[in-house]
Structure formats: structure tokens, C-alpha cells
Amino acid sequence: MIAPRRWIVLLAALLLSAAAGAIDTEAAFADAARQARYEHLTNELRCLVCQNQTIADSNAGLAGDLRREVKEMIAAGKSDNDIKHFLTARYGDFVLYDPPLTPRTLLLWAAPALLVLITVGAAARVILRRSKAPIDADPEETV
């Protein structure tokens, strides 16, 4: 195996400017609804090069190219789903910060409801049990 880390470092040095946020030169669309879609989409897509930024925030060249693709697809009347599909066909689900619901992410998406049901359910059981127990005096007052 060659050292992939070395490659990453070089890549990072060249393509990345992690700390300088990406700035478009102008609003992508004059029409507010499309501009909103553009901002929403680019803020939910993960930059592949820097990996922990959205393509809206990343200054990497690839992020700029992907913003351009998104802009052109919106202009061409493509739906958000079409655009996401275009990108996942090339980069996989990794590109979506909003993980799609699949059998493999079912538990992930069920987690909030499940966890709250479990913890609150357990708390409710304790509260119901305790509310039937005799109420003792204040330990502070017994001293």
C-alpha cells in the first residue's frame, strides 16, 4: 500500500483553502425562489475534497464546479431530487449531508423517536411507581 495520508496532505495543500469560505460572485438567480433552492441545496451537499464542509462553504475548486452544476440544473428546470440523484450517481450517498432513508439508515432515522420513547418511558415508569410510594419526610429536617 502506498501512503494514502501523504496523498491527502498534498491534495489538501493544493486544492484546499479550508479557512477561506467560498464566496460566489453574485446571487445565482434573480428569482428568489430559485435562489432559495440553490442556497438550500448547496448547504446540504458535502464537499468531497475537504470532506467536512458543504459545497456552499468550501473554497475548493471542485466545490465551485459542483455549485455551477447545481445552478445549471436548477436553471434547466431539474427538481431537487433530480439534482441529488445526479450527484449520488457519481459520488454516492456520501455527498448528501441529509442521509436518505434506506433500510440501512432506518434505525438512524428512527433513533430520535425510539430514544425519547425509551428514556421518557423509563422515567414515566419510575414516576408512576414512586407516586404510589409513601412520601417520607425531608431528610434535611430529620437532622
Q: Which segments of the chain does DSSP mark as H helices, in order?
A: 4-15, 32-42, 61-75, 80-91, 106-132, 139-142
**Dihedrals φ, ψ of 103, to 5°?**
-55, -30
Provide, rounded to whole angstroms, the least separation between the CB of residue 84 and another protein: 12
Say which amino acid occupies 9.
Answer: V
SS3 label, residue 46: strand
Nearest CB to another protein, comparing residues 77 and 143? 143
Distance in Å, CB of 77 to another protein, minimum: 19
Q: Which is nearer to another protein, 34 or 69 (CB)?
A: 69
Identity of the residue, 77 or 131, whose beta carbon is nearer to another protein in the bound complex? 131
User: Whole-number minimum distance, CB 143 to another protein, in Å?
Assistant: 6
